[in-house]
Amino acid sequence: MKSRLLPVLAACTLLHAAARAQSAAAPAFTLDQVLSFPFADNLVASPAGARIAWTFNERGARNIYVADGPSFQPRRITSYTVDDGQELTNLSFARDGRTLVYVRGGDHGANWTADGNVQPNPTSVPVAARMQVFAVAASGDTPPRLLGDGDEPAIAPAGDRVAFVHDRRIWIAPLDGSTPAAPAFFTRGASESPVWSPDGRALAFVSNRDDHSFIGIFTDAVTPIRYLAVSTSRDSSPMWSLEGRAIAFVRQPGRGGVPRSPLVQQPQPWSIVVADAKPGEKGSDGGFESWKSGKALVDSIPRTQGEANLRWAGDDHVVFLSYQDGWPHVYAIHHPGAGGRPALLTPGPFMVEHVSLTPDGKFVVYSANTGSDPHDIDRRHLFKVPVDGSSAPVPLTRGAGIEWSPVVTGDGQSVAFLGSTAQRPSLPAVMPIGGGEPRPIAANRIPATFPQSRLVTPEPVTFASSDGLEVHGQVFKAAGGEARRPALVYVHGGPPRQMLLGFHYMGYYANDYAANQYLASRGFVVLSVNYRLGIGYGFAFHNPEHAGQRGASEYLDVAAAGRYLQSRPDVDAKRIGIWGGSYGGYLAALALGRNSDIFAAGVDIHGVHDRIPAVNPEALARAIAGDGISEPEYRQALKVAYESSPIAAVPTWRSPVLLIHGDDDRNVQFHQTVDLKRRLLDHDVRVEELVVPDDIHDFLLFRSWKAVTTATGEFFERQFTRAAASQP
């Protein structure tokens, strides 16, 4: 009798233990609560006074807020109340600060446009969505005025007209909306990036002609358009000097020549050209090459926030960002039209990211991942430095927070910026330009139900990849729960991204940060891994050897993250999963195919799975001619590239997977997920799927984010509850 009862008693003991563990790991908050945070973005300062504006995305309802110094009390000036997936972007003030112009709609993170330039319609309403330019009074006492369909608005200095881009042309509309917008001029190619001269009499723009582009200047309906320093190059980012005497712009080589192999990283050299803004005699004006990069990979145009960040500082300095010393830093050229040498303004082993200038052009204010704490490498703080390099940079913010997107108010007295912490999402804040305590704005927009006090502070960790490289990550772990818990590796996308020790400055990753907090509250140990190819750790980390062979070196770091979790005494080594989106989805799929022995389940969100170059004589000839490599080297590179794709790893894929994708994705083809699922089913891999109709890569709808995160959490709980129940 006793022997019969032992198995029953043992089973009851296991059930009670499981119940206790489940109770201990019960969530301190719901997914809806942790995703309900407002996300602040698009911070701008008025050229006059102490007025600032920004956008809030509050559960999918996007609106513009304004605050005036010295009190900076926020007020909402638009009344959009629906989760309709229509972005608000491109905010700018008129010179007097009384009017704001903005764009509503579109997909500003897309790699390509849909057929016929169809705008995203994530709510599937039976009326086509539009991307439109609006003007609204900063007082908020009148509704927004529609100026026309378009993007990239630029307000004339007099505040009477707005230029914007629509249908590959530049249009102009009165700021008051009194008459319809009309095309400003005709020219070949696509006209983009309009910028008014300081006196408002001329409009600089980019004339994009596919393999080359010009900087043009439009004056009026009878004066021929002038093109500056025309060449076979691709010219972009025109910037007028303060007095309107010169225009500086970025120059890159035109597209052409011997096609290069996609298997080999290529340098992207560039230069800064300064041209006289006064009319020339023959309709085309020469330019002076003020600065030219080297030809090495490290000399390439930066692939960080704002890329070159080219700006005039008064009439006698140009500032820009370069990676030439191995880190993205700010440089200044004195007398750029006369060949002044660039001076490094921000020396040190850190990256500069968000850059702005004081209204008088005497100081650069920027964000960087440095400070007095060694863990600041996984944060952002603000600094200022004189443009003339007369003194060293001065820190404006410090501590455990994260600060970015600084702007200086028109009166020159305050720095406004966006900031977050480990527990608090992004909010605008202000502080005196001379230093002082930052003051958050609009904290009352955070819902009372948002679980701010119950969020964990991620632990910064480092571990070694299999080739010895030090890799950084952040561990999310809530108190209580099982002694040995299930664990997850989170893999960011991009890949030029860096996950931080708090809410991220990009909306996509702020949502993923909240998801990791939720997963930790459910009893998971979550490791967010900053694998090589990402930013924040220098050029060699951002551009590793073999980076062109996708999934080669960077996957070593992802696998190392899984092994690191296996080594932790608080992790059940048999219950480790992986999840990520975009490039993170690709690496998650690669992990499940290569290392089902480490990763027992995974979620692949809109990942790329098959981008292998075709093996044919033409491709081989291009590679040999363009890259100077031999046929055996090329074929070996192809072999490595193929072996680095998830489709090559399907035969060894054993772990169940959840595939998630929006079918209007304009960054990763939806067919990538269709194809992968069919391949996995052919090999008897257990596949679940969530398709989000009509939403895009960044998931425009709040309810899409909630559905994706809910499905991710429920999938891992099903897999690892099953795994725990099956253990002896």
DSSP string of 22-88, one letter each residue: HHHT--SS-HHHHT--EEEEEEEE-SSTTEEEEEEEETTEEEEEEEETTTTEEEE-----S-----E
Give yes or no for a contact between 41 and 55, defined as CB atoms under 8 angstroms apart: yes
pLDDT attached to residue 722: 60
- Cα distances (Å, whole numbers) of residue 182 to 166, 174, 196, 436: 10, 10, 17, 48
Whether 347-448 and 2-33+455-610+656-726 are alike in CATH topology: the answer is no
Strand partners, 491: 529, 580
Say which CATH superfamily domain 2-33+455-610+656-726 falls into. Alpha/Beta hydrolase fold, catalytic domain (3.40.50.1820)
DSSP characters over 630-680? -HHHHHHHHHHHHHTSHHHHGGG--S-EEEEEETT-SSS-THHHHHHHHHH
C-alpha–C-alpha distance, residues 305 and 244, integer Å:
26
Tracing tokens 């969020």 back to the chain, one arrives at 455
**Which CATH number is 347-448's, of 2.120.10.30, 3.30.930.10, 3.30.470.30, 3.90.1580.10?**
2.120.10.30
Tell me the three state secondary structure of residue 96.
coil
DSSP characters over 490-529? EE-SSSS----SSS-SSHHHHHHHHHHHHHHHTT-EEEEE
- Tokens (6 digits) for 608: 């790329």
**Vertex 340, ends 335 and 230: CA angle to 5°?**
80
Name residues whose C-beta falls within 8 Å of residue 30's C-beta, 6 or more positions apart in sequence. Answer: none
- Cα distances (Å, whole numbers) of residue 450 to 113, 274, 444, 475, 649: 36, 51, 11, 21, 41
pLDDT attached to residue 446: 98
Name residues whose C-beta falls within 8 Å of residue 29's C-beta, 6 or more positions apart in sequence. Answer: 451, 454, 518, 521
Give yes or no for a contact between 133 and 151, defined as CB atoms under 8 angstroms apart: yes
% pLDDT > 70, the chain: 88
What is the CB neighbour count within 10 angstroms for residue 73?
A: 10
C-alpha–C-alpha distance, residues 491 and 489, integer Å:
6
Domain boundaries, the chain: 2-33+455-610+656-726, 347-448
pLDDT attached to residue 14: 34
Strand partners, 488: 526, 577
C-alpha–C-alpha distance, residues 322 and 70, integer Å:
36
Position 571, amino acid: V
Tell me: the pLDDT tens digits for 420-436? 999 999 999 999 999 99
* pTM of the predicted protein model: 0.93
Name residues whose C-beta falls within 8 Å of residue 107's C-beta, 6 or more positions apart in sequence. Answer: 87, 119, 120, 666, 696, 697, 698, 700
Tell me: the pLDDT tens digits for 638-650? 676 677 889 999 9
- Cα distances (Å, whole numbers) of residue 185 to 122, 150, 173, 216, 378: 34, 16, 13, 11, 47
| DSSP count for the chain of H helices, then E strands | 11, 41
Q: Could you report the average pLDDT of every consecutive run of 10 residues in the chain (728 residues)?
A: 32 38 60 98 98 98 98 98 97 98 96 88 95 97 97 97 97 97 96 97 97 96 95 97 94 78 75 86 70 93 92 92 96 89 96 97 97 97 97 97 98 98 98 95 97 97 96 96 95 96 98 98 97 96 69 89 98 98 96 97 94 56 58 68 84 97 97 96 98 98 98 97 56
Q: What's the full length of the chain, in residues?
A: 728
C-alpha–C-alpha distance, residues 435 and 316, integer Å:
27
Please give the backbone phi and psi of residue 40, each rounded to the nearest 5 degrees, phi first.
Answer: -90, 140
b/e for 322-360, b at 16 or more Cβ within 10 A? bbbeebbbbbbbbebbeebebeebbeeebbbbbbbbbee
pLDDT attached to residue 244: 93
- Tokens (6 digits) for 396: 């404006």
Q: Rg of the chain over CA atoms, in angstroms?
A: 27
Strand partners, 61: 58
pLDDT attached to residue 26: 46
